[in-house]
Chains A and B, each alone.
Chain A
Amino acid sequence: MSQDPLEGCRISAGKKSAVSLGKALHPPNLLVVVEGTCGACVAASPVSAPEGSCSYNVAHHHLCVCVRVCMAWQGLQKGETLASLKQESENLRRKLEEERGKLTDVELHQVAEKVETVAALSIKTRRVLKGHGNKVLSMDWCKDKRRLVSSSQDGKVIVWDAFTLNKEHGITLPCTWVMACAYAPSGCAVACGGLDNKCSVVPLSLDRNENVTAKKKSVAMHTNYVSGCSFTNSDMQLLTSSGDGTCALWDVESGQLLQSFHGHTADVLSLDLAPSETGNTFVSGGCDMKANVWDMRSGQNIQSFDNHQSDINCVKYYPSGDAFASASDDATCRFYDLRADREVAVYQKDSIIFGASSVDFSLSGRLLFAGYNDYTINVWDVLKGTRVSVLFGHENRVSRVRVSPDGTALCSASWDNTLRVSRT
């Protein structure tokens, strides 16, 4: 893989910087692509310079720009043109499909034929969380399995005790449409963001009288709305996805951009971190209908799946980390195995015509809960590909479904301003 000799090199905002590459390190005609997001520009603008040095004037930009050597490029090979490269890319795509096809010796549901059918589920709504003044857009469970955080179009973020229905904290953001919220692994803070193009971290105080909103700290800065956020294994790093087409990894303490992830060609709507045992990767999905798997350290897009026919609203890892599922406006949910590098199941029915907004797996990975724009939650048998159950109750679109950390409860958030906690 291409080296990154500029690793650790950051151009700070407000400075005119020249990045020069020593000839001893690199061959001539090294392609340096400067990528990043800027608080002033509308979109990230790659600048390339075929020479051994390039300068990027960031005097009028407001953000740290990450400089990376994307790949060593020996310059154009003889005869290479835009047309020939286009042809090459088409050939490669075909080759990719062929390689994937060669290993498709059987379908997942065929392997699962011998498995016992799932017994009828008796999942019922046990709690209805009322308090938001408008559509609930997102929610996340705390690791303690009883608290959860939710965010709404009304600009409010609420931390609830799902057992007692007690509202423990209320945070008011200056923007509407708080599309993303996440609980910190320690349980001591929450992150939230949305139309303000930022993701902020709010430490939760044990003192009920303390104004929690006042301690809010901006961490992530994108050039378009923040659609998703997640802490990594600690409270110290935050991963965000944005309408600006990128994902980014931030240091919470300093607000520094640690890594940015470029590759989507439209808004990124969702991200999910691989379960900690499986290493430093995450998956993202967006309006370009693609689901991309990324290496968090290098920023490299390592696998990509383009099976959906419309926006991907949500992506979620299978509990073992070897697979993930996606929910899309094309009314299907799909399941991809990462080691086979292909889609292995499609969860769809002729009667389901509304977009799926959110998915999550049950603890064993056998069930996939999917929330839809027709107000229902369909429960799919992941292995057999059949629908096991439908959960009714919400009076508007289901925006988010999340299984609790111990697998005992399902929380669903909806445009009907409520959240529901369901259990067997």
Chain B
Amino acid sequence: LPTNMTSNSNLSNMKRLVEQLKLEASVERIKVSQAAADLQQYCLQNAGKDALLVGVPTGSNPFREPRSCAVV
């Protein structure tokens, strides 16, 4: 590329970076306390359905080998 195009390219990249940063800086944000409360609420609301967290009742697990009964 001719040198003026390269410097044009650097300049345009830099300009783009500045525009991108302006965009990111202008994002509307909420407080972490609010965000954290919402995340926590989602976890707690859905905890009951989370099989890996709370387990599933035996017998309803298709991956488990069927247990045999032993007469003691």
Contact = CB atoms under 8 A, between A and B. Distances in A.
Interface of A: 1, 31, 33, 46, 48, 50, 70-71, 73, 76, 82, 85-86, 88-89, 92-93, 95-96, 99-100, 103-108, 111-112, 115, 118-119, 121-123, 126-127, 146, 162-163, 263, 300-304, 318-320, 322-323, 337, 339-342, 344, 362-367, 382-383, 403, 406-410, 421, 423-424
**Interface extent on B, as a size class?**
35 or more
Contacts of B18: 85, 88-89, 92
Given A126-B63, A363-B49, A364-B46, A424 B56 contact: yes
A71 B16 contact: yes
Interface in B41-72: 42-47, 49-56, 61-64
Contacts of A363: 46, 49-53
A46 B36 CA distance: 41
10 contacts: A85-B11, A96-B21, A106-B33, A111-B40, A263-B20, A342-B29, A344-B35, A365-B39, A423-B61, A424-B56
B24 to A, nearest CB: 6
- Most chain A CB atoms below 10 A, which of B7, B52, B55: B52
B2 to A, nearest CB: 12
The majority secondary structure among interface residues of chain B is helix
A322 B30 CA distance: 12
B28 to A, nearest CB: 8
Nearest to A365: B43
Nearest to B42: A320
Nearest to B21: A92
Contacts of A50: 8
B32 A337 contact: yes
A130 to B, nearest CB: 16
A320 B12 contact: no
Contacts of B24: 96, 302-304
B55 to A, nearest CB: 4
A341 B29 contact: yes
A122 B21 CA distance: 46
B62 A163 contact: yes
A107 B40 CA distance: 12
Contact of A31 (B15, B20, B34, B53): B15
A86 B22 CA distance: 13
Contact of B43 (A1, A92, A122, A366): A366
A245 to B, nearest CB: 13
B52 A82 contact: no
- Most chain B CB atoms below 10 A, which of A86, A119, A363: A363
A93 B24 CA distance: 9
Contact of B27 (A33, A48, A303): A303
Contact of B39 (A82, A146, A323): A323
A273 B20 CA distance: 22
Contacts of B12: 31, 33, 46, 48, 73
Contacts of B17: 85, 89
A2 to B, nearest CB: 8
Given A33-B16, A96-B24, A304-B24, A407 B31 contact: no
Contacts of A409: 51-52, 63
A365 B46 CA distance: 8
A99 B63 contact: no
A342 B57 CA distance: 38
A27 to B, nearest CB: 15
- Most chain B CB atoms below 10 A, which of A1, A96, A122, A263: A96
Contact of B52 (A100, A342, A344, A408): A408
A403 B12 CA distance: 43
A147 B19 CA distance: 45
A145 B43 CA distance: 22
Given A115-B43, A320-B38, A409-B63, 4 more contacts: A146-B62, A342-B32, A365-B46, A407-B51
Contact of A319 (B20, B36, B42, B54): B42
B21 A424 contact: no
Given A96-B24, A127-B63, A112 B36 contact: yes
Contacts of A115: 40, 43-44
A46 B13 CA distance: 9
Contacts of A93: 21
A362 B50 contact: yes
